[in-house]
A and B are shown apart, each in its own frame.
Chain A
Amino acid sequence: MMKQTRFSYIRGMMRPVLMFMTVLLFTGMATLVLAETGAGSAQARIAPVGEVRLQGQPPVEIAPAAAKAAEEKAELEAAPQPRRADYPNVGMSSRAIVWVLAQMHLFFGALVLAVPLFVLMIELVGVYTGDERYDDMAHEFMKISLTGFSITAIFGGSLALALFMLYPDFMGYMMHVFGAQVLVYASMFFFESFFLYVYYYGWNAFRYGNLKWVHLTLGLLLNASGLTIMVLANSWATFMMAPSGVNEVGAVVGNIWEIMKGPLWNPINLHRFIANIGFGGAVVGAYAAFKFLSTTDPEKRAHYDWMGYTSNFIAILAFLPLPFAGYYLMAEIYSYSQQMGITAMGGILAWLFIVQAVLIGTILLAGNFYLWSGMSRTEGSERYKGLIKVIAFVLVVSFLIWVTPHTLILSASEISLLGGSHHHILGPLGIMPAKNIAVNLMLIATFLSFQLYRRSDKVATVRWAPLGNALLIGVYVAAVVNIIFLGVYYGYFTNTVYKVGSSVAQVSTTLVVIVAGLVIDTLMFRNAKRLPSHWGRIPDRAQYALFALPIAFTWLMALMGYVRSSVKTHWHVYTVMKDNSPDNFIPTIGYAGNMITLVTVLFLLCVLFMFWVANLSGSRQAKPEATAGGEA
């Protein structure tokens, strides 16, 4: 009877989910059928031959052909070229308004796309380990980001309104190009909201047994709809940078897939996917750090210490492959338009990469500092303390090389003192080969910190441990030598083409170190002796590293968004629709810095609100005691 009831309960719970999945399946199949028939392609439009009404001839018998010709004519409409007077004037910079709203929407969009991704992974780890702490932590991560979905929607709606109001011609053109795809985008929010609320509010209802798998499936579908939203929106941004599916005057000549599938679409999808995870991890890490600092209860400190460590782990792990995704993106930009690539890396925007170096340096230093401080949790960390100094030295020297500018703004007397516009020693450190060496060494050093931290509470018991350690040292030494050799030889003694090519070999070397390190340690520390580890035993100052991470991440995201958008220079849609608005120039880096700081502070305040609301739900006001007169 009990069994029967339980089965009915499961069946009752499953029914709406199965119905929803059926709708999804049919929608997907319909889309596939449409794609297969090539609806909308140029060939399909031309295919029904003999049904066309020619000028000066009597109408053909088949009426739909005339409609098709009219459709053809409508589709071959060039991109509008608005004059300056066509842009509405609202008394302040339209670009500044859109900049703030777009960036806030992107910050929160990135956060709410990323959190469910790693929440699902943590939940899965909880299922496999049977440790309910993972499940609770995953649930808590969802709780603190829940308000973020509404904030994302608020900024998204405001952004859309601002764009339609301030850039009507541009938005009209984008709607003309993307057509029904925009409606698909909008409809995905219904799917995402459905999965989000069932996933979050059903957490405890679907906690064990088969229902847990239903819950994990819901999480998967939540992520699938979130990622679909992301890639659809990315196609608009990449179309603006590298339009496809349109002719040289912006008239639509391809179908929606050809329009979306521009040369930069997948590089941006990959880059944003990875960066979002790092960003999300950093933001929830700040929450854990704040809660850690706000309590003196050892149990709570232990919980939030563990939560902060997990967040930092997610953020840094996602951050390590990010430069590789960045290389891929830049390589595709260069391949699409060398001019665009150089505008970003060697033209007016090149100075921004000095700021980028400062930000990435901050992220790596903060991440490393947190790991070193975290070693105090374990009693086996003494073995590795000496190496920390070496890692710190490599990080600082590499960071200084990275921020060394190529040229300096100098007065005539300073140039004569220096003997030219470039310093004879520091000058060579200002160009990309030196910076490529520096960034790869910083990534390797960070991975070493991570590896040492992971080893600090373990003692290997396998017989081949000394050999494994020797092998690992060999991998590190060979990699460092290779990275320096590639950078120096191909960077300074051959032409630029080889310089760019060698950077691929450098990042591959870094990847080899990471993969080799993970493989060797996994095998070597199988059945290892575990040393005691004390969660909560970490200095308070280490928590500030968890605040530095999201601030630097947020700033970095806004900065790189500015670079990505600015490489279009004075074009709304590169090469097909000019930007003739009063803001069609690239602003100075100082102005950009002000805007980025403004959005970072706004984001910080909104995130505080989000955390506060999350905590509010767990608070309950004590019932006031009745007074003598019976009044509360």
Chain B
Amino acid sequence: MKVLFKTLGFSLGLTLLFTLVTYLLPQVKGEAPVEKKVDLSSLTMEDFIALGDDIFHNKGTCTLCHKPAPLGRAPDIEGDDMVAESAKRLADPRYKGDAKDAEGYLRESMLHPSKYVVAGWGKKGSNDSESPMPPVDKPPIQLSAMEIDAVIAWLEAKDGNEVTVALPTAAAAAEVAAGGAGGDAGKAPAPAATAEEALAKFACVSCHSLDSKDTLVGPGLVDVGSRLTSEQVRQSILDPGAVIAEGFPPAMPTDFGAKMTVNELEMIVKYLAEKKG
């Protein structure tokens, strides 16, 4: 029994010692982000910039990576003048985005981070062609368009540059009231009711012209029904790599089979098969 008490005492003492260590460290609680209400009637640009500052340091979780060297795992946005940096990056031959000015670049860099990757900060093995940064309008960050504007306003203002973003409109406020970009997180994308809706939903028209033979990224589809059978149209959607039209790059997404519902696929196939030019 003496051995039992001695060994139990030793074990409990050691356990309590470990507990004590946890009390010697900073007691920080990690709160989940809380939606903030914005009163448009009294919102000033200063408030909007302050909102951007708050989002950058809290909800946006930007400072997890964007820290001063040598601690950062991404460029030191807070330390750099991002308007001046934007101009340099837009002029860089490696830049492959569509922005024309600092505001556009900053927005693009948040929504499509891989459009331009600062040298040395790309994903391992990507040769700086792919950014490790998640798009900020998608989970887990899920900033609304208004919140992204607020961050841009703060990025412009913090180094004394002119703020080019406008104060939020009623439409943006309505988006926030509905839960911002994250408001859609609970809903599956609604199935398309018509072939036109399905073509729009899967952004087919971004690369294919439906009413002409003009080439955008892929071939025009105005006469696709006379060139391909229904079966071939279906195959070219589900397995675009199987047959690639001559002279075109293999750029079509390969995951439509997983994304489309059976109805949507069949509506698109039927619609395209009937397009005889």
Contact = CB atoms under 8 A, between A and B. Distances in A.
19 contacts: A49-B269, A52-B265, A69-B261, A78-B187, A78-B188, A247-B258, A249-B186, A337-B140, A338-B132, A346-B64, A497-B120, A548-B10, A570-B33, A576-B185, A585-B32, A589-B22, A593-B19, A593-B21, A594-B19
Contact of B186 (A49, A78, A254, A579): A78
Nearest to B132: A338
B19 A339 contact: no
A46 B262 contact: yes
A357 B257 CA distance: 48
A52 B266 contact: yes
A105 interface: no
Given A248-B138, A585-B30, A590 B120 contact: no
The CB with the most chain A CB atoms within 10 A, among B27, B69, B72, B186, is that of: B186
Given A54-B267, A496-B73, A555-B15, A76 B29 contact: no
Contacts of A45: 262
A547 interface: yes
A533 interface: no
A354 interface: yes
A578 interface: yes
B261 A547 contact: no
Contacts, number: 192
A588 interface: yes
Contacts of B65: 338-339, 342
Which label, helix, strand, loop or mixed, suits the secondary structure of the A interface? helix
Interface string A554-570: 01000000000010011
Contacts of A405: 25
Nearest to A578: B185
Most A C-beta atoms less than 10 A away, residue of B30, B70, B189, B234: B30
A339 B25 contact: no
Contacts of A43: 238, 257
Contacts of B26: 351, 409, 589
A354 B21 contact: yes
Given A43-B238, A589-B25, 15 more contacts: A46-B262, A54-B266, A76-B188, A248-B139, A249-B186, A293-B6, A335-B124, A338-B73, A338-B133, A351-B26, A354-B21, A409-B26, A431-B71, A496-B70, A604-B11
B28 interface: yes
Interface in A529-559: 544, 547-548, 551-552, 555
Contacts of B258: 42, 247, 253-254
A68 B141 CA distance: 36
B191 interface: yes
B134 interface: yes
Contacts of B191: 73, 76
A42 B238 CA distance: 10
Contact of A497 (B27, B124, B234): B124
A401 interface: no
B10 A544 contact: yes
Given A73-B191, A338-B132, A339-B64, A54 B30 contact: no
A72 interface: yes
Given A571-B140, A574-B140, A81 B64 contact: no
Contact of A69 (B134, B139, B262): B262
Interface of A: 42-43, 45-46, 49, 52, 54-55, 68-69, 72-73, 76-81, 247-249, 251, 253-254, 289-290, 293-294, 335, 337-339, 342-343, 346-349, 351, 354-355, 358-359, 362, 405, 409, 431, 492, 495-497, 499, 544, 547-548, 551-552, 555, 566, 569-571, 574-576, 578-579, 584-590, 592-594, 596-597, 600-601, 604
B139 A569 contact: no
A589 B138 contact: no
Interface string B124-149: 10000000111000111100000000
Interface of B: 3-4, 6-8, 10-12, 14-16, 18-19, 21-23, 25-33, 61, 64-65, 69-73, 120-121, 124, 132-134, 138-141, 184-189, 191, 193, 231, 234, 238, 257-263, 265-267, 269-270
Nearest to B186: A81
A294 B8 CA distance: 13
A589 B267 CA distance: 55
Contact of B15 (A42, A354, A569, A601): A601
Contacts of A359: 18
8 closest A-B pairs by beta carbon, nearest first, are A593-B22, A586-B30, A570-B32, A81-B186, A575-B139, A78-B188, A588-B27, A42-B258
B11 A77 contact: no
Quick one: which of B29, B31, B33, B258 has the most chain A CB within 10 A? Answer: B258
